[in-house]
Structure 1
Amino acid sequence: MTATRRAKAITALAVAAVLAVATLLSCGSGDEPVGSVQVASTLGPGEGTLKLVTLPGSVEGGSSDPRVNWVTPFQKRTGCKVDWNVVKTPREMTALMRDRRHRYDGVAAPPEVAGQLIAEGQATPVNTNLVDGYKKLEPRLRALLKRDGKYYGVPYVWGSNLLMYDTRTVETPSSWAALFDPGQARRHSGRLVVRDSPLSIAEAALYLRARDRKLKISDPYSLTPKQLDAVAKVLALQRPHVKTYWDLPADAVSAFAGGEAVLGEAWPYQVDVLTRASKPVEGVVPSEGVTGWMDAWMIGARVQHPNCMYQWLQWTASPDVQQQVAEWTGVAPANPQACAGDRLKPGFCNAYHVGDRAYLDKVIFAHTPTKLCTGRQKGKHECTDYADWTRKWIESTKQ
């Protein structure tokens, strides 16, 4: 697959991971939570229909490229006709899954959506024994959606947030300080790029956790009001030096390719694309740690076609489908067997750390910020939720 075609594809999928500017936790629908939902115990024949909600790029039926199609083979094999509603933002996705007028069977949820659906009872726990191949998925990813002994999703794809730099201009950075420390950011003023997402607060929190231990930051996705205010000040001081807050991965690629950017937050995708294009860039894992994200298939609380949904969970977890998804979207597959045999090329698998358990164990995966603190502060303080994060992000980077 050419870098150009993959760049177009990832532009669509990037919405799922990056466009988190909506205040997800403050957009109540007025409905009470669904309540207790039951885990399926057995499966029967498919019901003939499957209704899904996705962000762009999560499901392909050949319309973007006739060679990229994992829907038609599924329909022929199972008899389940797939009808998917493509939304533009995580907020739209959450609203549809809340809406009692709709009964969607499943959703390809990014972390900020997944956490909210679980908290509100809008997702049905998954009986993982009914998903062939589930145990082949990365254990670390499987654990991300486990709550009170129940699993609420099947991992689909994942990625991490690196520090990317131009090797001709920037001395090899070892810390997030290169991007967030005001003095160091000034060295490359006007040539920095940062993800345009409230979740980018977590990377700044990692930097501040190491710099100011008195703040006692534990989980970078669980911040008290005092900690969030401190991070917001860091972002406000950084703002004059930022060239671009990127919405789409292609924006960061263009900035580096044109020499307008020399340092910034990036995914393995951008590093891979630019490297293949012979651009002098490298991606590093900062000493403070690296954050990441996972998209997962979840079963809706008002599922109408559970048998077809479980067949879809099995299908999308299979190595062959995982290979297609990874190649088309430019993200890491949740099933490392996608790199076995003659499927994904070794260069791709190495670049995206597929099957690298040591790397996965170091990634701090995103979850929805809530008022309930996690980590060392659990039960001791009240933390800030996603609406708080969104307000602080806008104040620090837009105003």
Structure 2
Amino acid sequence: MRLRLRAGAPAPVAAAAALVMVLAGACSGDEDVRPVGTVKAASTLGPGEGALALVTLPGYLENGGSDPRVDWVTPFQERTGCKVSWKVAKDSQEMADLLQNPSRRYDGVSAPPEVAGRLIAGDHVAPVNPDLVEGYKKLEPRLRNLLKRDDKVYGVPYVWGSNLIMYDTRAVAGAPTGRSALFDPAQAKRYSSRLIMRDSPLSIAEAALYLRGEDRKLKITDPYALTRKQLDAAAKVLAAQRPHVRAYWETPADAVSAFAGGDAVLGQVWPYQVDVLTRAGKPVQGVVPSGGVTGWMNAWMIGARGQHPSCMYQWLQWTASPDVQQQVAEWSGVAPANPQACTGDRLRAAFCSAYRVGDRDYLDKVIFAYAPSRICGGGQREDAERDCTDYAEWTQAWIKATKS
């Protein structure tokens, strides 16, 4: 639906913010291929530049083209004068490639965790000054802390979700309680060819959490910080599971279709699939797995080589506002980062409950994904006794275990 603006309400974007580009050392002489790692957070406000170039994944940016009722781009353009253009990346790898390309000058990206960490590590995104983002402090505190590095903020939370286990109550005998239902060979065999898993290297973390309880000798603590031995063990679990997997879903709709058509009866999903199928009267239930629930967050980040920093800051403020958050959540089937999207007449109470919006006890327990790094913990904490595997190694392990 069209963005609802209340009479008398202040504009979500009251002022623009400028990004101060500071080069450390001598300039290369080519502004289009300036070195990364030299951009500081904005410190002053400035006028918009009239344009904005973004990168996003499907469904996270709408201008009414998919549905005339769903449009949070046109009102932004009308209010700010910043004309938005965007590139829809087909997957997270293409998104990372676009932002890492030194000849590209994107102003911002709505990055999932496997992209965000790599962009920060490669200095392809600039720090954010949260004081210049109106509404930033209204976003969930746990989410705001996920992209902090050395007291610098590198992203503004956009949406989030968690990974659940869903089952068909008619076909599955007894509610599954943990990941053994998916990964234990004897249990997975019961529903062979009717299991589904998300098609992502980050799903390796699900197998790692299963092993954390099954094989204590592996000493797995953080499922996103795995040594070579731990990664190999998780990949072995996935390879053993593979003959029983009906499909590895890429889009949320794929998982919905599999359950709706009876092809799947048990699998890894998001709250979206549980919500959609439950409202459609399908006999499914979602389960928060024992042993720790994993999750993910998409955040808007500022491109280090962007040409329209003031418009980008206005976009950060706009997308953090409750009305925009309401639209994004409903359209994409995700939890809004701003719990105020569940106030007033915005999101339905049932939606907010299903997606755990505002449930800080739940949020505090979620193990949020980040890009695996050779530095254990993705650089968020020190672990000098271990060397971990990075996202490229996870990708290779995932392909070998599930596709080759």
The correspondence for 1:100, drawn from 102, 106, 118, is 102
* Residues 34, 305 of structure 2: 8 Å contact kept: no
Partners of 2:227 and 2:180 lie apart in 1 by: 22
Corresponding letter in the other structure for 1:298 = M
Quote the offset at 1:331 in angstroms.
Answer: 0.5
Corresponding letter in the other structure for 1:336 = P
Partners of 2:368 and 2:321 lie apart in 1 by: 23
Partners of 2:298 and 2:316 lie apart in 1 by: 13
2:348 aligned with 1:345, yes or no? yes
Quote the offset at 1:309 in angstroms.
Answer: 0.7
Quote the offset at 1:377 in angstroms.
Answer: 8.0
Which residue of 1 is the match for residue 387 of structure 2?
382
Equivalent residues, number:
370
Which residue of 1 is the match for residue 12 of structure 2?
none
Determine helix, strand or coil for the equivalent of 1:164: strand
Q: CA RMSD in A?
A: 1.5
Which residue of 1 is the match for residue 255 of structure 2?
252
2:129 aligned with 1:124, yes or no? no
Mark the CA change 1:32 to 1:230 in structure 2 (over 3 Å): closer, same or farther.
farther
* Residues 218, 377 of structure 1: 8 Å contact kept: no
* Residues 39, 124 of structure 1: 8 Å contact kept: yes
Deviations 1:289-309 (A, max 9, x none): 111111100001112111111
* Structure 1 segment 1-399 matched on structure 2, within 5 A: 34-170=36-172, 171-374=174-377, 378-399=383-404
TM-score by length of 1: 0.90
Corresponding letter in the other structure for 2:399 = I
Deviations 1:151-191 (A, max 9, x none): 00000011111010111222111111111111111111121
Corresponding letter in the other structure for 1:77 = R
Partners of 1:94 and 1:253 lie apart in 2 by: 28
Partners of 2:55 and 2:264 lie apart in 1 by: 35
Quote the offset at 1:376 in angstroms.
Answer: 9.0
Determine helix, strand or coil for the equivalent of 1:68: coil
Deviations 1:251-310 (A, max 9, x none): 211111122211100000000111011111001111111111111000011121111111
Corresponding letter in the other structure for 1:203 = E
Partners of 1:287 and 1:88 lie apart in 2 by: 33
Greater displacement, 135-144 / 240-249: 240-249
Which of 1 and 2 has greater Rg? 2
Which structure 2 residue ranges, 5 or more long, are not aligned?
2-32
Which structure 1 residue ranges, 5 or more long, are not aligned?
2-30
Greater displacement, 48-57 / 222-231: 48-57
Quote the offset at 1:63 in angstroms.
Answer: 0.8
TM-score by length of 2: 0.89
Quote the offset at 1:341 in angstroms.
Answer: 0.7
* Residues 33, 122 of structure 1: 8 Å contact kept: no
Determine helix, strand or coil for the equivalent of 1:379: coil
Deviations 1:188-224 (A, max 9, x none): 1121111111111001111101111110001101100
Quote the offset at 1:36 in angstroms.
Answer: 2.5
Corresponding letter in the other structure for 1:235 = L
Corresponding letter in the other structure for 2:110 = A
Deviations 1:366-391 (A, max 9, x none): 10011111299811111111111111
Partners of 2:277 and 2:100 lie apart in 1 by: 40
Corresponding letter in the other structure for 2:400 = E
Corresponding letter in the other structure for 1:133 = G
Partners of 1:377 and 1:210 lie apart in 2 by: 24
Partners of 1:186 and 1:377 lie apart in 2 by: 40
Percent of paired sites with the same residue: 73
Corresponding letter in the other structure for 1:233 = K
Determine helix, strand or coil for the equivalent of 1:189: coil
